[in-house]
Amino acid sequence: MRILILGGDGYLGWPTAMYFSKRGYDVTVVDNYFRRNACNELDVGMLYPIPTLVERAKIWHAQTGLEIKVVISDLTDPEAMRALFDGRVEHAYAWAKDSAFPGVPETVIHYAEQPSAPYSLINYKYANITLTNNLLVTNNLMFALRDFARDTHVVHIGTMGEYGTPNIDIEEGWLDIKHKGREDHFLFPRQASSLYHTTKIMDTDLMWFGVRMWNLSITDLMQGPVYGIETDESAIDDRLKTLFNYDEIFGTVVNRFITQAVVGYPLTVYGKGGQTRGYLNIKDTLQCVEKSVRTPAKTGELRIFNQIMETFSVLELAELTLKVGRKLGFDVEMKSIENPRKEAEEHYYNPTYQGLVDIGVEPHYLTEDVMEGMFKVVASFKENIRKDVIFRGIKW
């Protein structure tokens, strides 16, 4: 099966590419290096340097004999998106091995979005970059599917943050609503607490439009914050590790807390720390996406799963990091700081997340052992960690 991964250079994109390649899929990755460029522009450190995407594909080929095709192009340009479906390769900078068009993809995995809430609220310029990047890529994909590939299945990564923290149980994407004696089936109400998360609500709107108008087939995965570094495939060669950020902008909370613990930077809990979210291991992202690809949404279906494996409050995560870190001999402190975000610090939170387990996903959990493993990897790069870039002071 031909798989096209949009955003194939990112934290999730590259491990996904290797995971599918290893399992016999014909994989093409596309990226414009948005994340790398943003990290440079904002002076956000990475735990270790990573090779270019073309270089990674070459290392992968040398180690496994498998080919991952690489396209470097900006998918906010509709012509660049359409080239991936109609083979006009002049719009792509590089294909890894040769310039032959691999053919219309049977599945598209769409990660090509600016993924950070603080980035989206640095100021109005970064807000606009987030809006236009995320919505144009998704819209260009909808129109390319309409015009060239209505049967292609899309797996998109949404976010649990689309739902916010409502006072009712969160269902998997949809809700039957009774009102004044009548009833209808709707998207579950959505209200996000960052501009980035709001663009994901808009993605859902665009995809729901495409499904209704053109009978597209889409799986939208409402993902929680992901943690982890290694996957089975990255273990093949150290240079195949995915990028790892540990700062306030691009570092997800577990990854960031472990890094802070390693360098003796107090764990920063925003306000009361009662903010509860669903989390998952990077290995489970790969499983969830692959199971979704193997059992696709139906024609004319927007299928939504909540992609989390367990829930924690920020305080619980800080306490777990503290416990594991101290056990390993690190000098870990915890500090509550004034919340730079406008969000509920204590709230009801009861999401459903059964759909992905039902199609075969076997969850990993954030045990002390798992965290200990992450600590060891992060500690091995301790000399690379820059304390000065962890806190960025972005408020909203």
Query: Which residues form the interface with its own copies (CB under 8 A)?
Result: 78, 82, 123-125, 127-128, 131-132, 135-136, 139-140, 143-144, 147, 166-169, 175, 177-180, 182-184, 186-187, 189-193, 195, 198, 201-202, 205-206, 208-209, 212-213, 342, 348, 396
Q: Which residues of 58-82 are buried (b: 16+ CB within 10 A; e: fewer)?
A: bbbeeebebbbbbbbbbbbebebbb
Give the shortest CB-288-to-its own copies separation in angstroms: 25
Q: Which residue in 163, 196, 265, 353 is the catalytic one? A: 196
Rounded distance between C-alpha atoms, residue 353 and residue 222, angstroms: 10
Q: Which is nearer to its own copies, 78 or 373 (CB)?
A: 78
User: Which residue in the list 28, 130, 152, 159 is annotated as catalytic?
Assistant: 159
Q: Which is nearer to its own copies, 95 or 208 (CB)?
A: 208
**In angstroms, what is the minimal distance from the CB of 313 to its own copies?**
20
Is the Cβ of residue 37 or residue 191 nearer to its own copies in the bound state?
191
| Minimum CB distance to its own copies, residue 8 (Å) | 23
Q: Of these residues, 107, 163, 198, 200, which one is catalytic?
A: 200
Q: Taking CA 231 as the corner, what is the angle to CA 53 and CA 95, rounded to the nearest 5 degrees?
A: 20
Indicate the residue among 139 and 252 with the shorter CB distance to its own copies: 139
| Closest approach of its own copies to the CB of residue 119, in Å | 15
- Shortest reach from residue 299's CB to its own copies, in Å: 15
Q: Are 254 and 224 in contact (CB under 8 A)?
A: no
- 69 is annotated as an active-site residue: no
CB of 58 to its own copies, least distance (A): 34
The question of whether 265 is a catalytic residue gets the answer: no
Residue from 353, 314, 355, 354 nearest 335 by CA? 314
Residue 93 zone, left/alpha/beta (φ > 0; ψ -120 to 50; rest): alpha
Closer residue to its own copies (CB): 34 or 279: 34
204 is catalytic: no
Q: Which residues contact 218 (CB under 8 A, 6 or more apart)?
A: 153, 154, 155, 156, 207, 210, 211, 297, 301, 302, 303
d(CA 49, CA 80): 28
Query: In this complex, which beta carbon is closest to its own copies, that of residue 132 or of residue 367?
Result: 132
Residues with a catalytic annotation lie at: 159, 196, 200
